[in-house]
Amino acid sequence: MPLLCLPARENIISLINVGAGYHERHHSSGMSHWYVFNDFTVHSVKENEVGHMPINWKQPCMLYYTRKDIALKYKDLKVISPITEDIIRKDTSIGAAARLKTFTPLLDSEQFNAGDIVAMDAEFVTLNQEEAEIRSDGTRATIRPSQRSVARISCLRGQGPMEGVAFIDDYIATQEQVVDYLTQFSGIQPGDLDVTVSSKHLTTLKATYQKLRLLVDKGVIFVGHGLKNDFRVINLVVPQEQVRDTVLLFQLRNKRMLSLRFLAWHFFGETIQSETHDSIEDAKTALRLYRKFLELRQRDEINAALTELYEVGKKYSWKVPKDNGGTGGHSNAGTPAAPLD
């Protein structure tokens, strides 16, 4: 597997020879094939193009080889993750200032097993603004898209006596310049990510990533709102069967997606995100919505509830009415799900 640097564009791409097993499952072909991975773009390439490396614009960073018989010889080999549960129980902050306690670390008696529920939400900041130009024909072309970076990740217990209590609430320290904290949408304030002044529980992205990686390997079910986008920015691959995204659970086929704020008002008569966002509050609300979804599905009322939801949404232009004050949501789908204490 060659890993190439493209110095002229400050870009790193991968050229990977995907084995026959994948093509047998997806394309009914027993042949291996080369692919180029350039960020989220993937294309097939010819083998001679892989070996062609003009040094002025394609510089090899790493060459990785695999023995041809490795898959057959070690077919039943179990790969053991080097990440242990100690990583998720650590309560270490790299911030110099005193910090506020916003989560309760896992107890020694708490263990995660496959199928356990974990509610999650993430907040982001912008590292650079989008660069664009107006072409001669009047159309707008993006030269460089804006770059977002994860700033806070919160994970809550999804069952048990401490259901709804956060066990991870990590602020991700960054040394890069933040051009927009997106405070209205993220709740992140200037200084929150600075190790010299922050009062938050600061960690590195690697440390928090390892915690999430452990949860994925354990087989937990992640519950949240808009998780696909969160995982993409975090750069974490989570099997689809381990994701319960409320933005999709409460969506009618081929209809618009609804905000967490509107869903909370409709089903629970509560107004969240009034002034800013809080990832613990958002994760807890998503968990309550998931419980509500299971309740409606068990009573075979989910279709009627979604139909009513979209009728109310259309009536109020998909926004929480300001004069409603966040009370008395319009759902007739049974009793509201109980708050998570």
What CATH number did the domain enclosing 308 receive?
3.30.420.10
Residues 150 and 256 in one domain: yes
Give the pLDDT of residue 100: 72
In a domain, 143, yes or no: yes
Domain edge (last residue) among 46, 73, 100: 73
Residues 267 and 174 in one domain: yes
In a domain, 247, yes or no: yes
Give the pLDDT of residue 301: 96
Residues 65 and 96 in one domain: no
Residues 10 and 137 in one domain: no
> Is the predicted pLDDT of residue 326 greater than 50, yes or no?
no
Give the pLDDT of residue 275: 67
d(CA 67, CA 301): 54
Domain edge (last residue) among 45, 73, 101: 73
Residues 218 and 91 in one domain: yes
* Residue 18: strand pairing partners: 33
Mean predicted confidence (pLDDT) in 166-177: 89
In a domain, 200, yes or no: yes
Residues 6+ positions from 91 with CB-CB distance below 8 Å: 105
Residues 69 and 216 in one domain: no
* Residue 124: strand pairing partners: 150
Tell me the residue range of the domain where 214 lies: 86-324
Residues 188 and 115 in one domain: yes
CB-facing half-sphere around the CA of 230: CA atoms within 13 A: 26
In a domain, 16, yes or no: yes
10 Å Cβ neighbour count for 106?
A: 18
Give the pLDDT of residue 195: 83
CB 231 within 8 A of CB 238: yes
The DSSP code for 318 is: T
In a domain, 339, yes or no: no
Residues 69 and 176 in one domain: no
Residues 29 and 94 in one domain: no
In a domain, 214, yes or no: yes
Over residues 55-112, the pLDDT tens digits come to 777 788 888 887 777 767 777 777 778 888 888 888 788 887 766 778 999 988 899 9
Residues 65 and 130 in one domain: no
Give the pLDDT of residue 140: 80
Output the pTM of the full model.
0.76
- Domain count across the chain: 2
Residues 179 and 103 in one domain: yes
d(CA 166, CA 171): 13
d(CA 58, CA 46): 16
Encode burial over 59-96: b for 16+ CB neighbours within 10 A, e otherwise: eeeeeeeeeeeeeeeeeeeeeeeebeeeebeeeebebe
> Is the predicted pLDDT of residue 312 greater than 60, yes or no?
yes
d(CA 304, CA 252): 11
Residues 276 and 176 in one domain: yes
d(CA 66, CA 2): 12
Give the pLDDT of residue 68: 74
In a domain, 15, yes or no: yes
Over residues 182-220, the pLDDT tens digits come to 766 677 878 777 888 888 889 999 999 999 999 999 999
